[in-house]
Structure 1
């Protein structure tokens, strides 16, 4: 419950982290071309280095609204999600098996001749062969986008169902953020806690996604870019500090008798300490080193 409350706080003001550079050999996660969006948010394009692109189109103009995702009607979930079409120089292919609830151009890319699409949060139009739905999707194309593979994601029902170690690793996270790359012919998929970015699990496939090994755990990223992780960790630390400060302000104003300026006095004191720490250290280090904020009351004037 505590983590769920923190998730709400941390979700406010999260930055868009897609960058805009591409390499000659390996198209690394975090280096996607600039995402383009229509004014109403219903259409997005993710450009690839060879001039091709993924087009993501939604049927609902106000994505992310509570009623679109939580009404309990499957058709509403489909309406809110983006369906995906790959537009190559000589081909246009619709990835018909799933829609992407939360698309990010950093997860649509290519490595040499392999095109890939990854999503952590997918809506399936069709059930899998064993009657299961849902989960994450990783599909790749080795023929220029003419066709795409079945779901190769290590947490796909058919993949994880056959490997209890893989299944347990994903269940331990419950929800996660992931990045994918192809390096030297090896598929590498890494997941992390989407709030704190404080631990990483790496899954590897040497046979084009048919089977996966892992996880390999680490506190440092392998596939995620270091710059993205640093920004996310700083954002998490700032939001976590603000949540602690908010609780201290509430406690200050419960002090009998209630005083005017109780919240601002608490905020001013502890915000000054936070800024002083940031002048010397990174935000995650400040979050660990500073004590939890405590109530501060307005200084009384003589004779008051």
Structure 2
């Protein structure tokens, strides 16, 4: 997740993306990408890259700058001067429309009008790869500052790489790799139900999953958070579970909008945590019906499975767990990043 643009004179945003473009997820209405200079050259470059089919998703991947990315996303970046910007995912649920800034009190009245009560989190925050791939990036211009955006791209692909260029603040969420592998498998099985967990696991460990290798993806943001802590905030999913209130405060502080004494006394932090809890969000109509990806028919309810730490023990053999732990020890050794 990232915020961009200058500081607003009043807390007027962020505006849920669906309120600007309600048809964003309907594939029949998608615009074709605009033609740009050098399209043939870009296509030739992309077609020359190593390729493979994603094990769990019906898409072709290309190895670009050390990462396996969707072919259409690489073509988009090759054609345009401004690649997609900012990560990621559970924060869409946590508090994007409360902390930046708090224009929608979570407990105001009945709360029925709060964006997270009436919209799926994916409808609130635009997915930049999708917009750019469809030539619809101009829709971002309709969003008032501060804007919230979402991407899964590695840091090296972002304009903010190496120092927060463009005034963008980046929030990255990292999950324990074994749980991440299990979560990924459950999600993609809704598209390719015949793909086994063992197949997904092998691709994951080989670094050949989409946006992989996972270790380079994680380390890019981890190192940036140490080098430029004012522009990159690195959060662990397990810490969010253990101390949601503390991490809500940390996020608000990071984006320059710490909770006031009056907000603390009014219980604002607790109200945000309650609103964004998995059990609460799971019960909203917007999260029980419809599709997070209408083209691939992935139900929104897929995003709200268990949300616990350590679920990998129910899916991995001891041999699988040891193999992944060995990879983590090798790739993250000496970096200061550890998973508990």
TM-score with structure 2 length normalisation? 0.23
Q: Greater strand share, 1 or 2?
A: 1
TM-score with structure 1 length normalisation? 0.25
Higher relative contact order (CA 8 A, sep 6+): 2
Higher alpha-carbon Rg: 1
Q: Greater helix share, 1 or 2?
A: 2
